[in-house]
Amino acid sequence: MGNQTVIAVCGKGGVGKTVFSGALVRVLAERGLKILAVDADPALGLAYVVGLPTDVKTLGEVRDHLIRKARTDRDPEQIAGMMDYLLLEALTETDRLSFLAMGRSLSRGCFCPVNTLLKEAIRNIAQNYDVVLIDAEAGIEQINREVMSVVDIIVVLVDTSQRSRRSMELIAQVMGDLNMKARMGVILNRWKDLDGNGDSAVSNFEALSWGKIPEDEGLLRNDALGQSVFDLPADSPILESVRRITDTLIKT
């Protein structure tokens, strides 16, 4: 698609993907890169984390509006053909980043059509940015839908739980089954040493380890005050860790 880098942040629910994605957005912005942040989780947490209004328009909402206006349920290919309009309506731009939320569609029971739109949107718009960062939904649904076929790097966030490791293993398995060419790496989030076994969650994936992020009390205070990652102090432990990780992900 060009010289831009497309990164997807994956992992089980509750592992901290959205906060990590927000911190990565801040670090990339510090480096002067042009960023498109994509919230692919219908919960829409990334807007809050990067300091945007939580009532931003989503691809799903714009799609539903088109369907209601036409009084018929168009197939995904027809809607995707109107991608310029969809992107114009759903894209939020600030001096720090551009932001696109997938949302959910109320006109169908599954996310398949919206996932199709997400993939096409990334294909259409990625060339305008240095980095496209996707905060993926929990689990492996979007990987199964092949949204990740446009991704260069898949970051799997894990914690010290066995459930987290199982999710990581499933993601690796699906990537292999789909013969995906993306680089995959593992980041241990909210790391702490548990009687010398703090690294056990990724012990079988040492070659794929891209770093650790410690627990950050300042981040908890920041969240309690309703502040974004851009309000964190420059020496925040999470930001310092993400800066080191970014050196692995992006060559600037």
pLDDT band at 146 (very low <50, low <70, confident <90, very high): low
* Cα separation, 242 vs 246, whole angstroms: 6
* Cα separation, 36 vs 54, whole angstroms: 17
Token pair 């959910």: residue: 104
Mean pLDDT of 115-142: 80
How many distinct structural domains can be found in the chain? 1
- Pick from 180, 175, 183, 151: which is nearest to 1 by CA? 151
Q: Can you give the pLDDT at residue 195? A: 47
Range of the domain at 100: 5-249
User: The domain spanning residue 116 has which CATH number?
Assistant: 3.40.50.300
Q: Can you give the pLDDT at residue 33? A: 95
Give residue-wise pLDDT tens across range 51-100: 998 788 887 777 777 666 655 555 555 655 666 777 777 889 999 999 98
Q: Can you give the pLDDT at residue 181? A: 82
H helices of 51-161, where?
59-70, 76-80, 83-90, 112-125, 141-144
For the sheet containing 98-101, what is the strand order? Answer: 92-93, 98-101, 35-39, 131-135, 5-10, 153-158, 183-191, 209-214
Measured in whole angstroms, the distance separating CA 152 from the mean position of its chain's CA atoms is: 13
Kindly report the pTM of this predicted structure. 0.84
Q: Is the pLDDT of residue 50 over 80?
A: yes
